Structure formats: C-alpha cells, structure tokens
Structure 1
Amino acid sequence: MPYLSRIRINPLRAESRKLLASPRAMHAAVQGGLPGVPEQARTLWRLDPDNPHRPHLFVLTTEKPDWTHLVEGAGWPGAEGEHCAVRDYTPLLQQLSPGRSFAFRLTANPVQNTTSPDKATERQQTRIDAGGRRRGFRLGHRTATAQLNWFLTRTARWGFDVPHAPHLEEGHNADNATNEPPRDVRITTRHHRAFGKGQVTRKEAQVVMDSVTFEGRLRVTDPALLTEHLLAGIGPSKAYGCGLLTLAPLPGRP
C-alpha cells in the first residue's frame, strides 16, 4: 500500500541545514524512516521550499514510514500543529479516470542522451577519442526552453496531457515558431547542483543534475500508465529529490 507523507522542516536547526544543503544527506534521512531493507524500498521524495521559513518534505513510500527521527532532529518536536502527516495514497489513485483534470507539481531532472556533447569534459573526450562502440552521454538540459520541451514531449508516455491555456499571456511558454497557445504549465524553480557520490569526491564521480520544478494542470489520458509513473517516478535522479509527481483535485473541473 503506498503512503504519501508531508514533513515540516525547521530550517534554523543544524540538522536541517545539513539536509537542505545535501540531496545525498536528505536521501539517507528519508531511507532511515522505512522499516524494510532500504535498498529494496521504492521511495520518492521532493523538497518544496515555497515558504523558506517552513519548507515541506514530501515522501512517497510503499510501506508505512516512521518520521520520528526527522521531526526530532529537523522539525519542531513538541510544538503545536501537525508536523508530520502520513496518508494512504490509494484514495487519490482511485480518482484517476480519463479526462479528469488535476493540479500537479513535479520536480524532475530533464536529460538527453548524446554521443557528441558540445563541450566535452576531459573524461568524455577520452572516451570519444578511444572510438569503438560506446554508450551515449547523459547530459542535463540547461535552458528553460529545453527543459519545458523535454516535459511537454513526454507527457503522453506518462499517461496525461497538459491542456492549452489561452488565458495565459501569448508566448508565456509556447514555441514562437508556432501559433499554438501556451500550455497550462510553468517552471517555478531551477537548480544546477554538483555533489560527491558517497564519500568519493573525485570530479568524475560527482553527481551533476539540473532539477526543475514544473507546476500546472494536467488531464488524465491513461489512468493505468499515470498510476505507474506516480508510484515509480519520472526521469532520473530519483534518489536525490527528483521524479515525484503529486496531484491535487481541481474543484468544479472534470
């Protein structure tokens, strides 16, 4: 049974500052709340810093978690209010039906695979010079236009589409080469990050990612496919806060 959790983070505490600064540390803290074997647990998480004084951590797990360690180390233990909420995710999944619209939020790492990077690193150039059969290089999209295009060209394979939004300003997120009205989606945050993988700090062993948060309105086209991606995540870098798509019902809309 899947569970969606929301944990309030106190950014003024020392433990919180460590977690907020390091996706690797946050991943370890999230795994610490699961009762099963961490390597076998399928987990997605996302940090929403809408309010910098009270950021929220959302986590989707396949088992019911215990976030006591996060509340005590990085929250407001003993204070009034709901500092940690764990909800059964099944009721929302049961609402998915073709044509149903939802508000959505997704933090993802838009990437492309290429065999000829424009600006190859020393390590990449060595592989290119070696010739022979080789895998392509996975590179992040760096511009907002490319990142938005990555998202919009993949929604069908994820089980939804993003309706047009004629009410938005012309050219807000549309391709100016076409006369199509913009889609009901916007990019709210973009971050380029590079950090060591594990205890290794060599440059070639670093994790490099360009995380992007998309928000807007989607329309369900394939409930089974959308359910699969809600539970399994979207795109790479899932261990580091990417891939979690969350939905919210839109009152009065089909």
Structure 2
Amino acid sequence: MFLTHMRLNPSRGGTRRLLASPQRIHAAVLAGIPDHRDDERVLWRIDQPANHDVNLLVTSERQPDFTGLIEQAGWPARPDITWTTRDYDQLLNRLASGQTWQFRLRGNPVIRRRDDTGRIHTIPHLTARQQRDWLVARAERVGVRFVPDENDEPQVIVSERRTESFTRYASAKGRHVTLATARFDGLLEVTDPEALRTALSAGIGRAKAYGCGLLTLITPR
C-alpha cells in the first residue's frame, strides 16, 4: 500500500473545477493509478486547512503517477511542488494494541432503514451528535476505542458538516447525487490491529469514491 500527498493550486481553474465535483476528483485520481482495476481499492480525501491550502491524500495498492494532475491542478512550472508517496505498509505493520493516535476522517454518516413495503432507504444523519455517534458505533469493527475526555465523552470532534450535490456521469445520462458529509478528528486507542489495518486499507462507511472513508493517523501532539 502507498499513501500519497499532493498540494493542489487553489488559484487554478482546473482545481476549482475538480473541487466542484467529487466525481471529477475521483476520475482524476484513478487516471494517475497505472492500469487501475475495478476491484482495486483507491481512497482519497481533500483537506483544506485554515491557510487555504488544498491537500489531496490518496491511498492505493500501487504507486501513482500524478503528472497529469499536476498539469491540470498543480504547479507545473514549480518542480519543487509535486507529490510525495510513502510506503503505507510501514505504518500498517507497526500497529499494535494499546497505541494512541490522532485521527482524521471525512465520512458519509448514514443509516439504512426498511419501509413498510420492504424497500431499503439510505437516510443521512444530519445533527453533529448523530454524526459523532455514527462513528463511535463503528469503533469495535474498526478495531479502536475512542479515548474519553474528562467528562467521559469520546474525543471525537465533528466539523465541516455539509451537503454536497453533483452530477455523476456513469453514462451519457447523468444522475444527480447528494451526500451529507462531515469531518471527524480526535484521539483513538488501538484495540484490534488487524481490524484497524483493514479499515485503513479499505475505508470506513459509504461514498468512498467521492472522498469519504479515508482514515489517517498521526502521532499525538
């Protein structure tokens, strides 16, 4: 596995066009994966910190080549601003029970319910508390415990809550897509390293093709 970080140029029209549609970002990311297969999991996420940078994070089974993305949305005249790719297996292989990590995730918090006719509907969680509880409820299957604060509440901060709307073009006829997404930051403790490796590699929740599901870890500050 590989973890790639790339800065996008917020002043470029190509960047603004990509940010307007997760479908376009997904296509641009896959274009940078050599001989991408349909069964090959590629996760990505856009982070936009307060300094107005636009950061693209990608996990992939093979090392990407984002030369085309640099031309479209980067700094093609600045060879010092490109992308960096790291061996993600180094992190995955050193996960161990009891470790504490800071985490970040952009997720698509939803619940599936069956109506009186038997049809299943996907319903978004809309409040910050519902969205936080959606993630906390997944702790065991992800292989973690969300570290509690002094009030015995899980240290999970929900921010950047928004509804994204765009057109998905799987064919000549587009389909309108609406997603409720949120960013989650906090502190976790590893309880099941193998389950956490799976979550880091395969993602969490739905809408993975649209920038959701990529969980990242850093050493606590």
User: TM-score normalised by the shorter chain: which range applies?
Assistant: over 0.9
Cα offset for 1:135? 3.2
What whole-Å deviation, never above 9, does each CA across 1:83-121 have from its counterpart, x for those lacking one? 3111110111122100100110000101101124xxxxx
Partner amino acid, structure 1, of 2:211: G
Share of identical aligned residues, percent?
38
Say which SS state the counterpart of residue 234 (structure 1) adopts: coil
CA–CA distance in 2 between the matches of 1:250 and 1:155?
Answer: 19
Task: Give the counterpart of 2:180 among 190, 210, 223.
Answer: 210
Report what 2:4 is aligned to: 5
Task: Give the counterpart of 1:200 among 164, 170, 173.
Answer: 173
Listed as ranges, the matches of 1:146-185 within 5 Å are: 146-166=130-150, 181-185=152-156
Specify whether residues 52 and 191 from structure 1 end up closer, same or farther in structure 2 by C-alpha distance, changes over 3 A only: farther
Cα offset for 1:16? 0.7
CA–CA distance in 2 between the matches of 1:51 and 1:76?
Answer: 20
Partner amino acid, structure 2, of 1:104: F
CA contact (8 A) 1:31 1:38 kept: no
Specify whether residues 183 and 241 from structure 1 end up closer, same or farther in structure 2 by C-alpha distance, changes over 3 A only: same
What whole-Å deviation, never above 9, does each CA across 1:163-217 have from its counterpart, x for those lacking one? 1111xxxxxxxxxxxxx5222110121110122221534xxx4222111110011
Say which SS state the counterpart of residue 30 (structure 1) adopts: helix
Cα offset for 1:52? 5.7
Say which SS state the counterpart of residue 12 (structure 1) adopts: coil
- Structure number with larger C-alpha Rg: 1
Specify whether residues 11 and 38 from structure 1 end up closer, same or farther in structure 2 by C-alpha distance, changes over 3 A only: farther
CA–CA distance in 1 between the matches of 2:52 and 2:191?
Answer: 37
CA contact (8 A) 2:106 2:212 kept: yes
Say which SS state the counterpart of residue 39 (structure 1) adopts: coil
Say which SS state the counterpart of residue 38 (structure 2) adopts: helix
Q: How many residues align?
A: 219
Deviates more, 1:27-36 or 1:182-191: 182-191
What whole-Å deviation, never above 9, does each CA across 1:146-176 have from its counterpart, x for those lacking one? 101111111111100111111xxxxxxxxxx
Task: Give the counterpart of 2:215 among 245, 249, 253.
Answer: 245
CA–CA distance in 2 between the matches of 1:206 and 1:33?
Answer: 26
CA–CA distance in 2 between the matches of 1:28 and 1:52?
Answer: 27
* Higher strand content, 1 or 2: 2
* TM-score (structure 1 length as normaliser): 0.82
CA–CA distance in 1 between the matches of 2:98 and 2:164?
Answer: 37
Report what 1:73 is aligned to: 72
The yes-or-no answer on 1:139 pairing with 2:123 is: yes
CA contact (8 A) 2:46 2:55 kept: yes
CA contact (8 A) 2:45 2:214 kept: yes
CA contact (8 A) 1:10 1:53 kept: no
Partner amino acid, structure 1, of 2:137: T
The yes-or-no answer on 1:104 pairing with 2:103 is: yes
CA contact (8 A) 2:75 2:81 kept: no
The runs of at least 4 aligned residues of structure 1 exceeding 6 Å deviation read none
CA–CA distance in 2 between the matches of 1:192 and 1:31?
Answer: 24
CA–CA distance in 1 between the matches of 2:26 and 2:187?
Answer: 28
The unaligned stretches of length 5 or more in structure 2 are none
Specify whether residues 187 and 181 from structure 1 end up closer, same or farther in structure 2 by C-alpha distance, changes over 3 A only: same
Report what 2:25 is aligned to: 26
CA–CA distance in 2 between the matches of 1:21 and 1:200?
Answer: 19
* TM-score (structure 2 length as normaliser): 0.93
Cα offset for 1:40? 3.2
Say which SS state the counterpart of residue 40 (structure 1) adopts: coil
